[in-house]
Amino acid sequence: MSPFDTAFFAMASTADGSSPWLQLVPFALVLGIFYFIILLPMRRKQQKVQQFLDALKVGDKIITTGGIYGQVTRLGGESVQLQIADKVRIEISKAAVGGYQGQPPVQEPSGSDEAKS
């Protein structure tokens, strides 16, 4: 037997004789719990927001995450033009669209993190 074989067998068993794979089980459980409690719901919410943004069309009455009410007058690649008053139009990022007026928001308002603290 070569010295490399001896070192390999020494790494394969622990002092109490249990398998090193058994020590990875708690780590795998923590990763699984993290995935199902945090990552999966976050991914679902991102998909819901993306579907909402893809479904936006000219004429929709929306509210931004900053609280501005307006009607969509033009859609760009990453921006939306809103008419907020007669002859007053602003250009905002699509990511700043919070939801339709009169319905629950699709995205949380921009100041929600500070308000909860």
d(CA 62, CA 109): 13
Considering the domain 57-117 in this protein, what is its CATH number?
Answer: 2.30.30
Instruction: Give pLDDT tens digits for 62-87.
Output: 999 999 999 999 999 899 999 999 99
What residue ranges of the chain are covered by domains with CATH 2.30.30? 57-117
pTM over 0.75: no
* C-beta separation of 62 from 101 below 8 A: yes
The pLDDT tens digits for 30-64 are 999 999 899 999 999 999 999 999 999 999 999 99
Burial 37-58 (b: 16+ CB within 10 A, else e): eeeeeeeeeeeebeebeeeeee
Angle at 92 between CA 91 and CA 93, to 5 degrees: 135
